[in-house]
C-alpha cells in the first residue's frame, strides 16, 4: 500500500480538476442542480388549487358520517385521523381512529364501544383540559366521554352527564391560561323564522365542568371552531351563522377580560352554509379552512385585522358536512379530509 503525502494528494486533486475527465462530471452536476431546482420550484409553487382527490368512498364505514377530526392525541407531533357517525338501523354511534397508509386509503385502527343514545348525533373534539394531557372528547345529547390514547387505541378515562343539547362543540385555549376551554353552541331562542344561538364556554375544574361565560345571541349558528390564526398562542373563535342554508357570516371573536369581542367578520363570501371550519397551518401559512353544503372549500388568512379569502375555491359535487387537514404522508404538506353527506369520505393531496 502506498501512502500519499498531503502534498501529493493536493497535486492529485488539482490534477484531476485540470484534467479532461472532469467535464462530464460537471455537466452531470449541472443537470442535477437544474433538475433539483425544477423539482423544488414545482413544490414551492404547488398551490391550494392543486389539491386533487386521492381517495374517495361514497359508502364509508357508517350510514351517516358526521365528523372528521385531525389531532395529535399522543404528542408525537403526528396527528391522528378520527371520524364519528351513526348507524340508524343498528342503533349505533361510533368513533373510529383511522390509520392511513399506502394510497391514502384509511383503515380502522380502533373503534369505540357503541355510544348510542336515543335521538342523538355524536360530536368529537380534542383538547388539553387538565393535567391528564390531550384527550378526545366525545359528546352525545346527554353524555360526554373523555378518551386518552394508549398504544394503538383509545382508553375511556372519564364519563359525564350533561344537559347541554349542543349544536356543535370545539375546544381551544381562548383565555391563554394554558388549558383548553370547551366551547358549545346552543339554541337560545326560537322565532318563527330562525333559531337564535349562542356560544357557551366550559372549564374543567377540580369541581368538575363549570360554565364560565357565554356570548350574546349570534344568529342561526351553523359552524364553530377555535384556532390560533395570528400565532400569539391564544385561540381565536370562529362562528358561522346565516339563514337556513343561505350564504352567511363568519365572525372571528376574541375572549378578553371576561368578554367576547368581534375582531373581524366576512359576509356572503362562502357559497352555502359553512358547516365546517378548521384553523390549520399550511406551508403557505395559517388558514381558516371552510367547507360548505354547496360543496365549496375556501381558505381565509388573517391579515391587517381582516379575514382575507384566497381566490382558490375547491369544488365538489357533495354537500360537505365536515373537514380537516392533516399530513398523512409526512411530507410536510397537509392533505385535506372531507365528509360529504351522508357518508362520503374524500382525501385530497397535492
Ligand atoms: Ca400522534
Ligand atoms: Ca384556557
Ligand atoms: Ca391568537
Ligand atoms: Ca402530506
Instruction: Give distance in angstroms: CA of 103 to centre of ligand 1.
Output: 20
Q: Ligand nearest 233 Cα, by number?
A: 3
Instruction: Give distance in angstroms: CA of 81 to centre of ligand 1.
Output: 9
Instruction: Give distance in angstroms: CA of 297 to centre of ligand 3.
Output: 23
Instruction: Give distance in angstroms: CA of 237 to centre of ligand 1.
Output: 24
What's the average model confidence in pLDDT over 277-304? 98
Instruction: Give distance in angstroms: CA of 100 to centre of ligand 1.
Output: 13
Q: What is the pLDDT of residue 30?
A: 72
Q: What is the pLDDT of residue 291?
A: 98
Q: Ligand nearest 79 Cα, by number?
A: 1
Instruction: Give distance in angstroms: CA of 136 to centre of ligand 4.
Output: 23
Instruction: Give distance in angstroms: CA of 72 to centre of ligand 2.
Output: 18
- 229 has pLDDT over 80: yes
Q: What is the pLDDT of residue 2?
A: 47
Q: What is the pLDDT of residue 15?
A: 42
Instruction: Give distance in angstroms: CA of 263 to centre of ligand 3.
Output: 11
pTM (2 d.p.): 0.87
**Which grid cell is 262?**
368581534
Amino acid at each position: 500500500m502506498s501512502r500519499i503525502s498531503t502534498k501529493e494528494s493536493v497535486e492529485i486533486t488539482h490534477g484531476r480538476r485540470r484534467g479532461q475527465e472532469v467535464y462530464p462530471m460537471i455537466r452531470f452536476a449541472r443537470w442535477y442542480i437544474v433538475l433539483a431546482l425544477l423539482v423544488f420550484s414545482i413544490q414551492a409553487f404547488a398551490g391550494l388549487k392543486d389539491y386533487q382527490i386521492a381517495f374517495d368512498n361514497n359508502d364509508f364505514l357508517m350510514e351517516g358520517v358526521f365528523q372528521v377530526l385531525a389531532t395529535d392525541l399522543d404528542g408525537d407531533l403526528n396527528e391522528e385521523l378520527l371520524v364519528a357517525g351513526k348507524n340508524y338501523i343498528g342503533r349505533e354511534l361510533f368513533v373510529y381512529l383511522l390509520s392511513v397508509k399506502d394510497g391514502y386509503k384509511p383503515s380502522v385502527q380502533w373503534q369505540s364501544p357503541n355510544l348510542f343514545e336515543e335521538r342523538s348525533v355524536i360530536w368529537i373534539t380534542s383538547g388539553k383540559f387538565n393535567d391528564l394531557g390531550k384527550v378526545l372528547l366525545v359528546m352525545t345529547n346527554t353524555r360526554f366521554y373523555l378518551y386518552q390514547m394508549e398504544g394503538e387505541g383509545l382508553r375511556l378515562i372519564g364519563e359525564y352527564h350533561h344537559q347541554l343539547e349542543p349544536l356543535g362543540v370545539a375546544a381551544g385555549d381562548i383565555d391563554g391560561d394554558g388549558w383548553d376551554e370547551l366551547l358549545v353552541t346552543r339554541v337560545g331562542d326560537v322565532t318563527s323564522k330562525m333559531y337564535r344561538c349562542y356560544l357557551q364556554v366550559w372549564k374543567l375544574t377540580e369541581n368538575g365542568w363549570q360554565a364560565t361565560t357565554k356570548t350574546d345571541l349570534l344568529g342561526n349558528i351553523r359552524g364553530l371552531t377555535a384556532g390560533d390564526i395570528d400565532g400569539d398562542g391564544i385561540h381565536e373563535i370562529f362562528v358561522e351563522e346565516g339563514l337556513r342554508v343561505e350564504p352567511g357570516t363568519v365572525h372571528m371573536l376574541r375572549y378578553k377580560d371576561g368578554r367576547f369581542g368581534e375582531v373581524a367578520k366576512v359576509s356572503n363570501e362562502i357559497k352555502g352554509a359553512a358547516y365546517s371550519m378548521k384553523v390549520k397551518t399550511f406551508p403557505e401559512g395559517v388558514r381558516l379552512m371552510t367547507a360548505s353544503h354547496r360543496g365549496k372549500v375556501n381558505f381565509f388568512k388573517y391579515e391587517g385585522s381582516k379575514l382575507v379569502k384566497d381566490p382558490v375555491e375547491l369544488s365538489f359535487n357533495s354537500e360537505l358536512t365536515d373537514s380537516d387537514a392533516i399530513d398523512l404522508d409526512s411530507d410536510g404538506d397537509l392533505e385535506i379530509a372531507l365528509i360529504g353527506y351522508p357518508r362520503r369520505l374524500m382525501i385530497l393531496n397535492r
